[in-house]
């Protein structure tokens, strides 16, 4: 018969198993657990790890958007390039201030933050389609907000460290006009919040058939 205590005075495993409730064992050192309990604990840990990594991969796959900050504007065949005075003639003072001088309209004051009509938002400078009403959501910020652009290649991103903040500036890919900023605190499905200035855009209402 196996002695309940070995020469060191420590209880042997069989004695511990027979006298200590399993519930109590779960709070003790793993060394005292039975092989069945070890298998269960290991399996639980593996399942938890797999679930965690599945969640992480889902979260990153959720974005699906390539919001990459660039130093230079993308090259396009249809690029619109104008002088400052040409832009001033073409745009309203507020459009010019926002698009060409990185201005920001006051919150809850723009034309589109509360616009719920179906349609497409075009760049006010070059009329490139930028955002769809389908991707618009109420962010509560007072600026029109979208989860993604109509086409990824229609906007580009630049690092903006002005006003003591570290932000991602959104620009029109055709005329390089300043549109607003992108934040990674948006809702599903992308997790991005495209925060736009109303006067950087014009709205094209969807025609009913």
Known active-site residue 195: yes
Q: Which is nearer to Zn ion, 67 or 171 (CB)?
A: 171
Number of chain positions touching Zn ion (CB under 5 A): 8
At 182, is the secondary structure helix, strand, or coil? strand
**180 phi/psi in degrees, rounded to 5:** 165, -150
Site for Zn ion in 28-87 (CB under 5 A): none
Strand partners, 196: 180
Task: Find the part of the chain contacting Zn ion (CB under 5 A) among 4-12, 41-49, 50-58, 115-123.
Answer: 115-123
Q: Are 15 and 25 in contact (CB under 8 A)?
A: no
- Residue whose C-alpha is closest to residue 64's, from 170, 192, 194: 192
Task: Determine the Cα–Cα distance for residues 192 and 184; give it in Å rounded to an integer.
Answer: 5
Site for Zn ion in 161-200 (CB under 5 A): 172, 174-175, 177
Q: What's the closest the beta carbon of residue 155 comes to Zn ion, in angstroms?
A: 9
Q: Name the active-site residue from 123, 126, 172, 195.
A: 195
121-150 mask for Zn ion (x: CB under 5 A)? --x-xx-x----------------------
Strand duo 129-132 + 155-160: pairing = unpaired
Q: Provide the annotated active-site residues.
A: 195
By the criterion CB under 5 A, which residues form the site for Zn ion? 123, 125-126, 128, 172, 174-175, 177
């Amino acid at each position: 018969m196996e002695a309940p205590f070995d020469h060191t005075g420590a209880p042997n495993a069989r004695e511990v198993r027979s006298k200590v409730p399993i519930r109590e064992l779960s709070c003790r050192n793993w060394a005292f657990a039975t092989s069945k309990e070890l298998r269960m604990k290991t399996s639980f840990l593996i399942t938890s790890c797999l679930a965690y990594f599945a969640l992480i991969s889902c979260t990153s796959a959720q974005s699906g958007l390539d919001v990459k900050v660039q130093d230079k504007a993308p090259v396009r065949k249809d690029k619109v390039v104008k002088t400052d005075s040409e832009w001033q003639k073409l745009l309203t003072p507020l459009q010019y201030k926002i698009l060409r001088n990185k201005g920001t309209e006051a919150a809850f004051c723009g034309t589109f933050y509360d616009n719920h009509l179906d349609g497409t938002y075009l760049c006010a400078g070059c009329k490139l389609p930028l955002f769809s009403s389908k991707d618009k959501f109420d962010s509560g910020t007072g600026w029109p907000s979208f989860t993604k652009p109509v086409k990824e290649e229609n906007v580009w991103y630049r690092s903006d460290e002005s006003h003591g903040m570290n932000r991602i500036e959104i620009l029109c890919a055709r005329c390089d006009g300043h549109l607003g900023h992108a934040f990674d605190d948006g809702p599903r499905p992308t997790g991005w919040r495209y925060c736009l200035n109303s006067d950087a855009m014009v709205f094209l209402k969807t025609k009913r058939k």
